[in-house]
Structure formats: structure tokens, C-alpha cells
Amino acid sequence: MPTEARVVVVPQQQDQPLEVIDVTLPAPGPHQVVVRQFASGICHSQLHTIHNPRQAPALLGHESTGEVLEVGESVTDLTPGDTVMVTWVPKDQAQARRQGGITRLELPDGRTATSINVFTWATHTIADEMYVVKVPDDIDRETDSIIGCAVITGAGAVLHTANVQSGDSVAIIGVGGVGLSAVAAAAHLGANPVIAVDLDDEKLDFAKSFGATHGVNAAEVDPVVAIRALTTISEQFDILRQPVAGVDYAFDCIGHSATMRQISEVIRGGEFGQRKGGTAVLVGVPQTPIELDSRQMFMGERSYVCSLGGSCTPGEDLPRFIDWHRQGILDLDSLVTQRYSIDDIGRAVEDLENGRIAGRSILVFD
């Protein structure tokens, strides 16, 4: 049956304010699920959609908590009344191999708004079952809403993409919601040191409460020089017979051209004849191409890899990170620093753009 909803829409024309529109969601198709939402994360990557050209009005948001209202006839593992999380990564391999499709929502004025997978900036959403994961009923309905993007992206990059081990050295550039999740995961896995890099001392102090051992303010010092100074091993030498310096893993949780280069420069070179060099991991969504020093990468046998959604399998990882929250490994209560209503979405986006969010902000629905 149709469901009434309020949905945030980005107009097709750029530089226009976000709209909050009353819509009627259709009855679910065979593989679709209708969800009444409790809360949704406000992800920095959504700013790219807002500011980049588009062919149609856009629907935003890709992490939430909610309750299933209705399911399509082919949905077998979800039923009305289930508590769920909505995410943007297919929940398991079987679902990922089913093509699915772009979400399209007819608006009352005749326009069609689209999303490449899900939309969660809405009181209710309709999504393909591949993006909807059943979770325990007693989750934290508000703070757990950020697990489906911020946490899987940051913590997943450390846990899965890099496979950080106890004793590995780590640097994390950008300690917003994604970066703080990466910091917490690295600390939990026993990395040492865990070096947080940002442009604000308050954010760096905040990162230390999540497990960072050092903070580097890139507005005051060259982060490459600072990190290499913190990690020099005088008894190990590279091919040029220089002491090895740099971290085992560096994570860029921003995706700017400068930070994408910096992670390649702060990873250590290989110890000649003993072991390979470090690994740079791009986590933030890149908006520009970059040039790397290929000779430096080659001579140090360094690696550069990308992490999409933390290389996570949400069907397995969402329950894992819920448990981390319950155990205090991942302090989501502190990570969620601001809450907004759907009618305040314009202010929420403005606060995000202007650096006024210390951790992660969320929309909370009545």
C-alpha cells in the first residue's frame, strides 16, 4: 500500500536550496522494502552531490535506522516490524550479484528524483532489500544510524582494506565521523602509534579520546615532516641506506588532492632486503586526479589502494559494529555531536560545510 513520507530533494538546478517535500511512496516492488526511519546520518560525501551537476533532482542520505513497514513478494529475510539499518553497500555477496537499479521517486509536481542506490534523508524510504539489514530490536535508534556509512567506511578501511595488526603504525588524515571511526578501529586492533591529522586542535584532542596517540595540526606544521619524525627507525635502512621513516598504513579520510598525495608521502619505505614498504589507503571520495611520485613509490616498494565502503559486508559488519558500540570500543554516543530535524536540513548542511560538526551529525525523525 502507498506510504506518506517527507523527503529531502536536491533540485536539478544548482545553487538552489534543498526542498523538503511531502510525497507518496509506492507499494514495494518484488525486491523492495518500505522503512519508517528513526534517524539518518548526514554524510560529508553528500555535499559532492549537492554541488556537482546532475541530470535530475537528487535524493540524498545513505545510512539510517528504522522499522520495516512493508516488503515485496520476493523478499524472504525481512518482515514488517523488523528493526533494520539501511546502508548503501549490498549486504551480502548473493544480493550484490543481483543488479538492482537506480531508485526513482515521482514528486507531486511531476518531476522525478533519483538516487543511485538509497535515500535516507526522509521520514520513510523505499529501498531494494540488498541495502536493508535486519538488526537487534534494542539498538540505539539514533546513534547507531551512522554505522551504515561513517563507521563501515572508516573502521572497515582499517579492519578489512588494510587489515591493520597489533603493533602497526597508523596515520589518519581527517578526523570527522569517518576518520574517528578509523581511529577507534586502529586503537582497538592494537596499532601504535595512531597519529591523527587535522587542521584544528580541538578535533585532534577529540581524536585522542577515541584512541589517537598523537595529533598533528596540518595548519601549523608540515604533516609529512612531522609524521616521519615521529616514526623514524634508526636501525632500519631503505635502499638508499637512509633510516626508515613513516607509518605502515596511512588513511586519507578527506579525498582532497593534497591529502591524497600526503598519504603516499607519509608511509614508510621498505627495509631493503627485509620487507616491503607501507600502504596508503584512500577512504574519502576523491574529486580531482592526482600525480604521485612514482619513483618514490617504486624504490620504497610502497602501495596505494582504495577503500570503497570499508571493503565491508554489511550483513556481517553491521552486527559487529553494533557490538563494538555496546562494548565501548566505538563511542558513538560521543561521535554523534549534533542532531537536527528534517526541516532543519538546510542548516545541517551549512554547519557541515563550514566545519561546525566535531564528529557526525544526524537527522532524527519523529
Residue 110 has a pLDDT of: 95
Q: Which three cell numbers stand for residue 215?
A: 595529533
What is the pLDDT confidence band of residue 2, given thresholds at 50, 70 and 90?
A: confident
Residue 31 has a pLDDT of: 96
Task: Render pLDDT for 196-238 as a digit per residue (tens, 0 to 9).
Answer: 999 999 999 999 999 999 999 999 999 999 999 999 999 999 8
Instruction: Give the integer Cα–Cα distance in Å for 93 and 247.
Output: 33
SS (H, E, C) the chain: CCEEEEEEEECCCCCCCCEEEEEEECCCCCCEEEEEEEEEEECCCHHHHHHCCCCCCEECCCCEEEEEEEECCCCCCCCCCCEEEECCCCCCHHHHCCCCCCEEEECCCCCEEEECCCCCCECEEEEEHHHEEECCCCCCCCHHHHHHHHHHHHHHHHHHHCCCCCCCCEEEECCCHHHHHHHHHHHHCCCCCEEEEECCHHHHHHHHCCCCCEEEECCCCCHHHHHHHHCCEEEEECCCCCEECCECEEEECCCCHHHHHHHHHHECCCECCCECCCEEEECCCCCCCCCCCHHHHHHCCCEEEECCHHHCCHHHHHHHHHHHHHHCCCCHHHHEEEEECHHHHHHHHHHHHCCCCCCEEEEECC
Task: Render pLDDT for 57-78 as a digit per residue (tens, 0 to 9).
Answer: 999 999 999 999 999 999 999 9
Task: Render pLDDT for 45-58 as a digit per residue (tens, 0 to 9).
Answer: 898 889 989 999 99
What is the pLDDT confidence band of residue 171, given thresholds at 50, 70 and 90?
A: very high
Residue 15 pLDDT greater than 90, yes or no? no
Residue 1 pLDDT greater than 80, yes or no? no
Task: Render pLDDT for 115-149 as a digit per residue (tens, 0 to 9).
Answer: 999 999 999 999 999 999 999 999 999 999 999 99
* Averaged pLDDT, 329-336: 96
Most confident of 39-53, 180-194, 236-250, 284-298: 180-194
Residue 361 has a pLDDT of: 97
Residue 301 pLDDT greater than 90, yes or no? yes
Residue 219 has a pLDDT of: 97
Residue 102 has a pLDDT of: 87
Domains of the chain: 3-148+333-364 (3.90.180.10), 163-306 (3.40.50.720)
* Averaged pLDDT, 245-268: 97
Comparing 4-8, 209-213, 270-274, the range with the smallest average pLDDT is: 270-274
